[in-house]
Structure 1
Amino acid sequence: MRVTVVGGGRIGLLRASLLTRMGHEVTIVDPHLDPRAVPLPTSPDLAGAPADPAVWIIATPTATHLDRLREIVARHPDAAVLVEKPVCSPEQLGELGALIAEHPRVVLEVASQYQDSVAIRALGHEARIRPGHALTVSFVKDRRPDEARGRFTDRIAGVLGYEWPHLYAIARALGATGDDLLPADPDSRRLELVDEGGSLVEARFAALCADGRELVLHSRISGASPTVPLEPDDDPACDPANHRVVRLAGGRERITLWLAPSYADERTFPRARTALIVHETPDGRRVRTIHDDPLRVSMRDALLRLVTRRPRRIDVDLDMIEHTRLLLGSRAVPVVGGRGDDGGSRA
């Protein structure tokens, strides 16, 4: 199958490599990419790319997604397009809706690797039979080395523009509703933000869901968190500066899903293409290993949906952008460099 990847940055090259290994014919479109640097056909613009690929993938910085989508649908009004998350910035939501309305034949899906994850589905079963358990989703990494090498920086949303869509998608997959995640009620919602050097590097959103369940979403993009550290009895193999963890907790029971972290390999905890579910009760501790490659699985499944013109609905992805817009609009008193006197800004 012929696939054109628009964007030759880290994620674009990663997707191109995976697609090639899956047997697809790939072209990369990027005006700044040295064609001698990659073992694949390249083009500096859409005009020089193959005329009619089965699927387009937009893997450019978020602020440019809408422009690239406009270029594609102007050329192919019935194009099948996979767009990296988030599909657009909050202020572009109206323009995106208008573009989709103007081109009803376009088939659009937003890349969301954890909506297809085997590990998330496994934890979803545990969540359904424990509806009262509190849910925490925490992704921590250090983007600073990447950004020093030229990876794009979200100057508007900061931490809310990187891993946050993953957190939101996981929370929705595990039973949280869109209303649960709207920062509308100051008595049941709380937002804390950490600003370092004028950039939002950490966010913690806590909510009391309509069904009474407690929910926390947390992410940091500048290494280990001094404000939301790992708990003392968490697995010592976990890197406090690079982890992805989803947890259900209620009473004396705790179920923790350790997802493969950023840049996972054979040395990370857990290692690449592996997830661990750790079930802790007063009777002991059980560990279950799940083989999961969420990026590859999600891309495989998305391609199938797109070529058969049955894409996953993007309602959750659009809800996530509205959620982000409201969070950005509600940040009255950011925490500068750590926890302030009042613990943060109240949504």
Structure 2
Amino acid sequence: MRSTDTHVEEKKTQMYSQHAALSDTDAPYSDEEIAAIQANMPLLSRYAEADCSFDGWALLFRDHYVENSVGFVLGAESAGIPPEWIFAMAKGDQTRNRERIHATFLARGYRSTVFDNAWIDADPGAQPGQDAEALRAAAEVDRFIAAAREQGRKVLAIDDGGLIARGYGKADPERAVDAALELTVSGLKRIAAAGPLGVPVWNMARSRVKTQLGYLEIADSCMRRLRELIPTVKFIGRPVLLLGYGTLGSRLAALLRAQGSRVCVVDTDTASLITAAETGYCAHRTAADALACTTPFAVLGATGEIALTEQQLRQLPDGAYLAPFATKDFSVLRTPELHAVSTDLPGVGRRYDLPEGPTLCLLGDGRSLNLFDADAIPTQGYDAYRAGTLIAAKTLCRTFDQQSPGVHTDTADTAIAKAGLFEAYFDLYLDSRPQEAATRPAAQEPTGHACILGYGVAGQLHAQMLTESGMALDLVDPKHSARSAVGLAVHASLDTLSPSKQVDLWSVCTPTGEHLPILRAILARDPNARILLEKPACHGHEIPELEHLLDTNPHARVVVNDQYIHSEALGRLGVLIRELEPDQPIEHVSVIFTKDRRADVETGRFIDRAYGVLGYEWLHMLAVVRRVLPPPLLGNYFAADPALSDLYATYDERLFVSSLTERTTLHHEHTRVYLELASSITGPLIPLHTAPATGERWQRDLRESDDRHRHVTVHAGRTRFKLHLEPVTAPGGWQLDRNQHRLSADQDGTVVFDQIIEDSPMRTSIRHAIAALRGKTPPPRPDFGPLHRIAALAATLKENETTATDDSHGAETTPAPHPVGSAA
């Protein structure tokens, strides 16, 4: 479809091949990120308490690699399955963080691989490479089962029918699993086609918790992803053809109608068709009948079967969108007999030009669209379904001796109802009574007291998020007389806070120079304190003292808030690099962060005479470098003497150094990366960037000119990647709103990717810190590597400033950038 090119807003798609293995090189989720996932699935955590249910069991878990799956597998481990007896398998979809999830599973001691759905549905021998990958994955499963048998363990499979369809549900003591939970309707169809079962299979696909709760969240994720991929396309008033009116399709129909679309439904099941017609939809037995009387601008597939024939494709209007929510729906497009010419649409899908027919746009990669380059359902949205699955799994294993072979349709519902999951779900998420009257789970009751020290911009944000987490607050701020309107208990100093006051979490948002004395005072009061510390943790010369303080208080928990470590935009940059240049190393990284602090300096605010420009944006820049550079090169950078870099500094008598550029080349084995870091606090120093294509999120005069700019550029292969972190202003006066970032890529001067990413890294990092401090697992000790680097850079600059002054023979210092270090 020719007009589709104007809708390209996301990264260039590299179709997730069934032959591709997951990479082990991506960073696993940090302890803080894992704690945040667990904190967002409180129902699952409630039912993940260890008991005897999983004694002597091993787990084969096969599902999409998304964050709610991480939460589930962690829950299974907490419930009693040892890490070495957990084998997780991705279903092959192009989910956003699949590599990181794979790395997380390996880091926790699980086994992890891909067992692609395409291998299960394909005809044997149709694709030799695919068959080889399927056999390799099956061999890994066989070895896992054999190892479990040797240790006297039974094996539970939680899957969508793929393993059972491959023979693991037969009465075969050497190769079969002992019991299974079935998660999807398509899996049920595969199980039925595979023949008689020799093991018990509990049906989660038709359970109340999935049909009544789970599918609403699935449908919501499907519609969100559809609108995200084609955000400029009009839906209101236009006809949409929906193929399939089952559990998912009926919910999609309601969502389409709610946004004003005219919905036409096709279903081969007469009872479902009657329901659709009596609900007010235009209903047809076949797609051919529907296309004879409607011209849809979009066709949605929710059948799980081949939904359109070649002839019906040719009946579609030129430019129609095809949105698959099950893999088989539009698989006819991939048949060679169609003779269609296909073209990648970066970040959207593929365009198919049919000979003597229309041009069509297949959204996504042909699989479930809500999983295309996305994490699909929010962790909270699948909390109840994952909790129900864990309840069913524990009950099945605990009562295994009472189970008979075959598919059981009511047993999961009975176990979940007995556990009180629906009551807990309502109390937690839906009870509209006043806070004090509602019966709520312990995890959602006000669960402690927090004390915020410093009520500036950071302190106010911490207060908001701590309040949202259910904590009562105290505030310590010497300017408390001006803070009476905040409605908090306010104290002029820490000394005036009652020693008997129980504080479960401390939030330190004071100037950096006050951090160390405050930490000493808090730890003297409570050696087990949980402390959220705004960055930087301390000045460079104070690092040894801070490390000694932590050594002498080993039971304390300290998390330093570092927002760009949690930036989704930086994560998307890494994914885009791997997808557009999968075989090419990074060659060049440039990070430019500027902030105009001249007005503040004139009033005596935000002056860092110890580090100058290094005390403002440089820690943020190092966080970016930590997200972009491969670990070996990153280690080499932090270990290197800053004097070996080319340093260009502007010295300032009030600010020490007001601008700095560092350039260096990093080496590791055969890899070489040129790194450039630049920052200024006396001017915007706006780097060039391309003007945006028109779109509803770009506006002119959204705000006054930005006083800060944050740009990241990466070169790999023939592609230049650019990430413009908020606030974003582009040539022509175009601006994006707050917490919107722009990621783009060009090849040989042609833009192949341009995407707007919605993300608040500050809120995310605070949320992760709170979860880590209050979680069961202690967070890792703060990493002082970036602070050491800043201190070493400052020392080098001071030394070179002295040399430059001595060489000047008393000449007046000029504001021009002065080369120091190896470039001098």
Give the alignment partner of residue 792 of structure 2, picking from 316, 319, 326.
326
Task: Give me the whole-angstrom Cα distance separating, in 2, the residues matched to 1:53 and 1:269.
Answer: 42
> 3-state DSSP class of the match of 1:100?
helix
- Residue 535 (structure 2) pairs with residue 57 (structure 1): no
**For the aligned residues, what is the CA RMSD?**
2.7
SS in structure 2 at match of 1:249: strand
* Secondary structure, counterpart of 2:635 in structure 1: coil
What does the per-residue CA deviation read over 1:115-168, in whole Å, with 9 as the maximum and x for residues that have no partner? Answer: 111111111224454532311111111123345566432111011112111111
Distance 1:261 1:27, change over 3 A: farther
Q: Which fold has the larger relative contact order, with Cα–Cα distance below 8 Å and residues 6 or more apart in sequence?
A: 1
- Give the 3-state SS of the residue equivalent to 1:170 in structure 2: helix
Provide closer, same or farther for how the CA distance between residues 24 and 259 of structure 1 changes in structure 2, counting only shifts above 3 A.
Answer: farther
Do 1:182 and 1:326's aligned partners in 2 also have CA atoms closer than 8 Å?
no
Rounded Cα–Cα distance in structure 2 between residues aligned with 1:274 and 1:312: 30
The structure whose residues are more often helix, as a share, is 2
The range that moved more, 195-204 or 90-99, is 195-204
Tell me by how many angstroms 1:339 deviates: 2.6
Change (3 A) 1:344 1:124: same
- Contact persistence 2:706–2:727 (CA under 8 A): no
TM-aligned CA distance change 1:202 to 1:81, over 3 Å: same
Q: CA–CA distance in 1 between the matches of 2:746 and 2:463?
A: 40
For 1:124, which of 561, 565, 574 is the aligned residue? Answer: 574
Give, in whole Å, the separation in 2 of the partners of 1:18 and 1:32.
22
Q: CA deviation at 1:49?
A: 3.6
Identity in percent: 29
Report how far residue 174 of structure 1 moved: 1.4
Native 8 Å contact 2:643 2:821 kept in 1: no
Match of 1:38 in 2: 486
| Secondary structure of the corresponding residue to residue 156 of structure 1 | coil
Pair 43,204 (structure 1): closer, same or farther in 2 beyond 3 Å: same
Paired with 1:2 and 1:40, the residues of 2 have a C-alpha distance of 12
SS at match of 2:480: coil
> Which consecutive unaligned segments of at least 5 residues does structure 1 have?
none
Tell me the TM-score normalized by structure 2.
0.38
Stretch deviating more after TM superposition (27-36 or 75-84): 27-36
Contact 1:42–1:49 (CA<8 Å) still a contact in 2?
Answer: no
1:214 aligns with 2:674: yes
1:276/1:136 CA distance change after superposition, 3 Å: same
Residue 338 of structure 1 is aligned with which of 816, 821, 824? Answer: 816
Q: How far is the alpha carbon of 1:87 from its aligned partner? A: 0.6
1:152 to 606, 621, 631: 606
Pairing partner for 2:534 from 84, 87, 97: 84
Write out aligned runs for 1:270-285 (5 A).
270-282=736-748, 283-285=750-752
1:5 correspondence with 2:452: yes
Residue number in structure 2 paired with 1:179: 636
Q: 2:779 aligns with which of 311, 320, 331?
A: 311
Contact 2:536 2:619 in 1 (8 A): yes
Question: CA distance change for structure 1 residues 183 and 293 in 2, over 3 Å: closer, same or farther?
Answer: same
Equivalent position of 2:234 in the other structure? none
Task: Give the 3-state SS of the residue equivalent to 1:179 in structure 2.
Answer: helix
CA distance in structure 2 between the partners assigned to 1:49 and 1:125 by the alignment: 47
How big is the shift at 1:284?
A: 2.9
Is 1:230 the counterpart of 2:677 in the alignment? no
Tell me: CA distance 1:336–1:156, structure 2 relative to 1, closer, same or farther (3 Å). farther
2:650 maps to 194
Give the deviation of 1:239 after TM superposition. 6.0
- Counterpart amino acid of residue 816 in structure 2: G
**1:294 alignment partner in structure 2:** 761
State the match for 2:201 in structure 1. Answer: none
- Which of residues 137, 143, 165 in structure 1 aligns to 2:597? 143
CA change 1:45–1:24 in 2 (3 A) is same
Q: Distance in 1 between matches of 2:517 and 2:653?
A: 30
| Contact 1:202–1:219 under 8 Å retained in 2 | yes
Partner secondary structure for residue 177 of structure 1: helix
